Amino acid sequence: MADVFISYASEDRERVRPLAEALAGRGLSVWWNRALVAGDDYARVIERELAAAKAVIVTWTHASIESDFVRDEAGRAREAGRLVPVTLDRGVTPPLGFGHIHVEDISAWNGAAAAREMDVVEAAVRARVEGRAVDAAAVQSARRARKRIPPATVLGAAAALLLIVAGVYVVATQVDSREAAPMSRQDQLAQLLDLVADGRITGDQAVELARLLQDSAFADAAADFEAGDVDAGRVVPALRDAPRVARAEAMTAARASFVDAAATLLQDPDKRVRDAVTKVREPQSRREALDEMWAIAREGGASAAPIWRACGALMLAAGDDRAARALENARALNPQDKALWRMLSFAYAKQKRPSEAAAAAFVAAGLDAAFVNNWSGAVERLEKALPLMADAPTRGFVLGQVGDAAAASEDWQRAEESYRAALSVHSEQKNIAAISMDSSKLARSQMKQGDMRRACVTLRRARQAGAAVTVEEFDSACAVRAGPQAVTPPE
């Protein structure tokens, strides 16, 4: 068992790797690897490691704030007083319930184990591990040191200043009154490409390069992007109330998704991935780049999710027939990404698949409604998507989202119905992780209705299926107090 557990979204795996390695290099035992060996029970191992950890680092990013797993892990760590939140993406707002807790911003960290950012994180983590209050003075000292100019830099600046003063007359006679020209776009691109090739690019530089690549790739691809909107209701009368699939919305989602995914891939330790992403900037090498990325994504691994997103976004803009398949693969890995549903809706519509286009549009609208706490609107839109969905895993996800929205509005009966339907799908698919999550939610909805017996049966069946059920969850549902004795109700 490790002292430190790192919670993160699967899309951020390679961004989290340097954090885990830096803390391990400082003598801390760290568990973070979700790529478990064959035979391991994914959910049960995570449950065990999370419960045993003395400090839980939650990495808030654009991806993780949308992850149910990360939110759940963060909630448990907060309740146990073991939470150490950090952010890898500047400007990210933690989910509801975590906004009052200070988040250490390490988005500008260059990945070096000896960097001052790691001094700050280590100070907070060791306090949790050792069961003491955080030494505020030590943390502030580390923060100040992070901002302080190193002595060597000061001495170098002083020497440079003396040289400038000594040669001021010569400079004054030669200097042009015009301001120095800013670095050209091509020079900037070349500089960033060199950093990527050497594997030395920082997070901010990766975002900057991703935007430059997007400008080039999408400018060329936009000419092939089918103009106009697609109205599923015109094709299938029964779908007249489906949200309209707008070209502009799909293109906006595609651009943003590409930049986000490419920024992650440009920092990938696999040089094949970095090289393939940089090739998309040239029309003559773009098809080859997409083929290479597709092949790497099919190998699986941590890079697969952002690769499928990047491929799907660019293929959609370029009119590539593989766009829908790439986006489906990305959705399978992160179904809560609203942009993926929006892009998929347009991709299906272009392929003359109106029912699937309408379903994806309904889900995107439902997730949008849930994001602003419009729970009734979320339930209404998501339920309209269900009859149009044939893919079982995706249907299971949507049913779970309906349950979440109903539970948020305290409609416990509808929540129970939705979670029960979701569990039926998960059981057919033998999706143990999903069974673990929705079994707990189903039991909670049953307990909220005062039916402890059914809640206990739900958790018993989940355990029998191999799902992770905590002792606290099981006891709360199955232990009925009768004086000093605790008895378990029969099934």
Retrieve residue 140's tokens: 């502030």
pLDDT of residue 478: 82
pLDDT of residue 339: 87
Over the stretch 383-395, which tens digit does the pLDDT of each residue have? 999 998 888 889 9
315 vs 180, residue with greater confidence:
315
**At residue 172, does pLDDT exceed 70?**
no
Nearest CA to 210 out of 110, 289, 93, 310 is that of 310
With beta carbons less than 8 A apart as the criterion, state whether 449 and 479 touch: no
The reply to whether 4-147 and 391-491 are identical in fold is no
Q: How far apart are CA 338 and CA 62, in angstroms?
A: 12
Q: How far apart are CA 375 and CA 363, in angstroms?
A: 13
What is the residue extent of each domain of the chain? Answer: 4-147, 186-364, 391-491
pTM of the predicted model as reported, rounded to 2 decimal places:
0.61
Q: How far apart are CA 242 and CA 372, in angstroms?
A: 20
What mean pLDDT comes out for the span 276-294? Answer: 90
**At residue 238, does pLDDT exceed 60?**
no
Cα 230 → chain centroid: 29
pLDDT tier, 5 (very low <50, low <70, confident <90, very high otherwise): very high
**At residue 223, does pLDDT exceed 60?**
no
What mean pLDDT comes out for the span 8-19? Answer: 83
With beta carbons less than 8 A apart as the criterion, state whether 443 and 427 touch: no
| Best mean pLDDT range from 177-181, 204-208, 231-235 | 204-208
Q: How far apart are CA 314 and CA 213, in angstroms?
A: 11
What mean pLDDT comes out for the span 347-374? Answer: 86
Nearest CA to 359 out of 320, 403, 395, 310 is that of 395
| CATH superfamily of the domain spanning 391-491 | Tetratricopeptide repeat domain (1.25.40.10)
pLDDT of residue 298: 92
pLDDT of residue 60: 93
Q: At a CB cut-off of 8 Å and minimum separation 6, what does 244 contact?
A: 229, 230, 231, 361
pLDDT tier, 295 (very low <50, low <70, confident <90, very high otherwise): very high
Mean residue pLDDT across the chain? 78
According to CATH, the topology of domain 4-147 is Rossmann fold (3.40.50)
Up-side HSE of residue 230: CA atoms within 13 Å toward CB? 28
What mean pLDDT comes out for the span 165-173? Answer: 42
pLDDT of residue 241: 57
pLDDT of residue 242: 59
CA-CA-CA-CA torsion for 183, 188, 194, 200, nearest 10 degrees?
100
269 vs 159, residue with greater confidence:
269
Looking at the chain, the whole-number percentage of residues with pLDDT higher than 90 is 19
pLDDT tier, 294 (very low <50, low <70, confident <90, very high otherwise): very high
pLDDT of residue 182: 58
